[in-house]
Structure 1
């Protein structure tokens, strides 16, 4: 970036942790969103026409129309979050606007939540909590709320990147056998450490698993990766966990399968039409629904903010931002 631009105009689209916003105010000419109201399309277009640096989040749809409206002063999009599927990266490449993200700092938080769902769904924890709160519990009985034991089961992980491997380590501690499908096979030493079995064919794997954890990114290839046909390949006692992106699952098909008990249960932290939830899912007892809180720890969100600050400052200083995302 031009060294004469000492305090670039930075527009932040959502409320960030106080410590992050305070540091931004010290370093940049920053516009904060103190009401935390999501930006409209018109506000996004105005932002890219006035900001030197835009700091969006997953709730902002930075599509071709927004990108093409960007003024020449927009030098960087520093995304607050690891995923960039809400940004049209093809249009970004054509416009030659650098984009950064915040990878790595959310791995353990997201993996922890995936394991929380993997515990909550088969053990029917939320069902029991609901019965208790509603005053419907009449006392212990031998057959009340029987769920599934985790030990000795098989977990199929779809997407064995940082988060997938972190999920595998946690599953291993519960004596769950780890299987995985990935675009490329892991090195032998990592497979050995995780005691993980590789499947090149996703369909062959999922039909043999007791639990499935989705941890792959959302791309054109993974959109509706779990469509109705593929969901039918799951065993009737199988449980599906998704902490990646909602669009990877055909949500309508999943709701139908859960309603018919063709699948035993699901744990979802992400949804296809966020923040809208399929009404069918809201009526089902065999699904645990969480409001996209996989990275919602104090430490994780502050670490995300630190990465945004470093990416912006590095770019200002004329260096390559450490978390530059290269369009395919």
Structure 2
């Protein structure tokens, strides 16, 4: 009988699937699992179901000599040393697809919040300050006829582009390769270089994976290329943006605003961002719907169960 260790709280339907493979132990608290507790449980684990807050590295693997699979409950896996896992014969899996719509919805919501200054408006009401309607009160920017530039045209980028098209936006994208002609036609999207995307887009959305190549992709130089009336949206990973440079651009009028779901040193947020009304900040809510988190847990559990049964994972990470 296999033993599965779950390093954080996941929905019950994921745990039920895991129990079909054998004994399941899970950390039932929202705070991170202590390393000593984790290592004790991993000692005889055949599978580990991990969250994006877990660092799966040599120290993690050293504690789990029987491990066959690490099933990450996330589409991103920059928290996992994939090469180290594969070197030890440990499969790595993730949960793509099931969080596409939820994350694209949030990207659209952040775009509306920052361009229409909705966060500012709510803070004004909640502050109790007196106010009255006027023609020029808290004017924002409309989206119709504006250009959305998507950096990383994967499933989430495509889903966000479709939503933006419904709001009357034009779409350009930057990717390692062009998407298929049918998708380009459906979205009326055009592949461009990164510099052109930054220089011409009204809204720049980051939907690319995080890697060494995308670390600080949006830095001071990139922000300097953007127009002063443009906005940055980040629902991918925090370190893709140089937050210190972003604060300066927002503070000095280099760009008009930013909507961020993820942060460079999460859960810490650059203090400069907290002082700026033109920054909309939410705490990593991209996949935070009941339906999506349950689907993620079920898919991660299925990945683990398949590997433990000697079958290919549903979503292996190469």
Distance (Å, rounded) in 2 between the aligned partners of 1:294 and 1:82: 11
Among 116, 126, 136, the alignment partner of 1:123 is 116
1:51 aligns with 2:45: yes
Residue 324 of structure 1 aligns to a residue whose secondary structure is coil
Structure 1's unaligned 5+ residue stretches are 1-5
Which residue pairs with 2:298 in the alignment?
A: 306
Distance (Å, rounded) in 1 between the aligned partners of 2:111 and 2:313: 36
Aligned residues: 318
Which residue pairs with 2:156 in the alignment?
A: 163
Among 28, 31, 43, the alignment partner of 1:37 is 31
Among 79, 96, 99, the alignment partner of 1:86 is 79
Which residue pairs with 2:67 in the alignment?
A: 74
Residue 48 of structure 2 aligns to a residue whose secondary structure is strand
Contact 2:68–2:89 under 8 Å retained in 1: no
The alpha carbon displacement at 1:33 in A equals 1.3
* Map 1:204-283 → 2, pairs under 5 A: 204-283=196-275
Which residue pairs with 2:181 in the alignment?
A: 188
* Map 1:136-151 → 2, pairs under 5 A: 136-151=129-144
Distance (Å, rounded) in 2 between the aligned partners of 1:92 and 1:20: 23
Per-residue CA deviations over 1:12-55 (Å, capped at 9, x if unaligned) read 11111133334434653111111222124444444443311111
Residue 133 of structure 1 aligns to a residue whose secondary structure is helix
The alpha carbon displacement at 1:229 in A equals 1.1
Contact 2:18–2:304 under 8 Å retained in 1: no
Distance (Å, rounded) in 2 between the aligned partners of 1:278 and 1:45: 32
Distance (Å, rounded) in 1 between the aligned partners of 2:39 and 2:227: 47
Residue 50 of structure 1 aligns to a residue whose secondary structure is coil
Among 57, 65, 86, the alignment partner of 1:63 is 57
The alpha carbon displacement at 1:62 in A equals 1.3
Contact 1:47–1:54 under 8 Å retained in 2: no
* Residues 137, 155 of structure 1: alpha-carbon distance in 2 compared, 3 angstrom cutoff: farther
Per-residue CA deviations over 1:145-194 (Å, capped at 9, x if unaligned) read 00001101001000000000000100000000001000001122211110
Contact 1:240–1:267 under 8 Å retained in 2: yes
Give TM-score, length-normalised by structure 1. Answer: 0.93
Distance (Å, rounded) in 1 between the aligned partners of 2:304 and 2:83: 22
Which residue pairs with 1:323 in the alignment?
A: 315
Alpha-carbon RMSD across the aligned residues, in angstroms, is: 1.4
Moved more, 292-301 or 92-101: 92-101
